[in-house]
Structure 1
Amino acid sequence: MLVSFALSSVAIFVAELGDKSQLLAMTFATRYRAWQVLVGITVATVLVHALSVALGFGIGSALPNGWVELCAGVAFLGFALWTLRGDELDDSGNAAASGRGVRAALLAVTVAFMLAELGDKTMLATVTLATRHDWLGTWLGSTLGMVAADALAIVAGLLLARRLSSRAVRYGAASLFAVFGGWMIISSLPSIG
């Protein structure tokens, strides 16, 4: 199990470097609190990598990746519109919405990361590792590697947010979501058509 854990941690950490999920983590870090982004990423990663390990361990690669990527692309376009709309609250509304805001942030980050990771190279790498190595070590290691790589991206996002205006951050984040959404939709078409 320790070999599976170590191998999966390193492999997924390296595979995640420069991936769209890291850019997504950076984007969310400019919009939400770092702990909300990290918790959302962790929940999504635990779930997606559990699915990946189950696929690799039991039934192989059976997800219709083209359709999953198409749905994820449409969702990302929705995130772009939501980001452009913004979440403006005055001081009286901040207290009433703080609980709802935390839940909404966690839900947005978790759903976006789950959609981004379904059919992604890190998911496929985890499926592959699970076909040859201990499932528990692979699951825990791949989760740790992914969360560690995305934690680096959160730090980068926080540094960017300090240097840019909120308007630039909002338009930049919306643009990234739109680009990722369009890219996912276009890349899914050959496999569903």
Structure 2
Amino acid sequence: MDAFITSTVAVAIAEIGDKTQLLSLLLVARYRKPWPILWAILLATLLNHGLSAALGVSLSRFIEGDWLNIFLAFAFIAVGLWMLIPDSDDNLATDNRHHGVFLTTLVLFFIAEIGDKTQVATVLLAARFESVVAVTLGTTVGMLLANAPVLWLGNRFCRELPLRAIHVSASLLFILIGLWTLIAETRLFGG
């Protein structure tokens, strides 16, 4: 249950103001069909984060336990610091009307998540908790919690949020997870 809850909270907070949230806004502004966009986000996230979580669990089996925890601790801290850097929206063109709203959203969302902070976080969370299912479900729920309101509340919702404070909170959450992992690991080494 820790894997699911931690993954949900971490990704829900990290997604606020992220490029995929902006992509959700652009898609709903263009197509004005929130339900097919939501279903496509769900499927794209399950696919992307499922593969990412499987990679994370594989990583946890490849690297020896103590070294994995130390690596994960520093990686979580690095992701936390990375979250302080605003996303670029350069590659969010949505001029694919001939493919339909569902397919366009599915492809764009899947691609937008490749190399994204939340994808990296999914790999790390899965390696930390060694659970593909719990982490994939948690990160997917977190993604939906952050993006679904945008589909219905749109631009007004995004403009009124204190995005910088949210990014700093998400950053602190990942840094704290990293420090928690590092402290737990040093306790193991220290006895």
TM range (shorter): 0.5 to 0.7
3-state secondary structure, aligned to 2:133: helix
Residue of structure 1 equivalent to 2:13: 14
Please give the alpha-carbon distance, in whole angstroms, between the structure 2 residues aligned to 1:19 and 1:44: 16
* Distance (whole Å) between structure 2 residues aligned to residue 9 and residue 139 of structure 1: 9
Q: How many residues align?
A: 127
CA RMSD after TM alignment? 2.4
2:59–2:127 CA contact under 8 A, matched in 1: no
Instruction: Give the SS at the match of 2:100.
Output: helix
1:121 aligns with 2:120: no
Q: CA deviation at 1:155?
A: 2.1
SS at structure 1 position matched to 2:29 = helix
Partner in structure 1 of residue 45 of structure 2: 45
TM-score normalised by L of structure 2: 0.60
User: What is the CA distance between 1:53 and its match in structure 2?
Assistant: 0.2
Please give the alpha-carbon distance, in whole angstroms, between the structure 2 residues aligned to 1:51 and 1:156.
30
1:41-190 aligned at under 5 Å gives the runs: 41-59=41-59, 76=91, 79-80=93-94, 82=95, 104-133=100-129, 134-157=131-154
TM-score under structure 1 normalisation? Answer: 0.60
Distance 1:54 1:158 in 2: 35
Deviations 1:81-140 (A, max 9, x none): x26xxx6xxxxxxxxxxxxx7x62111000000010000000000100000112211111
- Partner AA of 1:15 in structure 2: A
- In the other structure, the counterpart of 2:69 is none
Give the unaligned 5+ runs of structure 2.
61-87, 158-191
Q: What is the Cα deviation at residue 147 of structure 1? A: 1.2
- CA deviation vs aligned residue, 1:46-85 (integer Å, no higher than 9, x gap): 100001101111147xxxxxxxxxxxx9x947x45x26xx
- Structure 2 residue aligned with 1:23: 22
C-alpha change, 1:158 and 1:106, in structure 2 (3 Å) is: farther
1:36 aligned residue: 36
Give the whole-Å Cα distance in 2 for the aligned partners of 1:11 and 1:18.
14
Q: Judge conservation of contact 1:76–1:112 (CA < 8 Å) in 2.
A: no
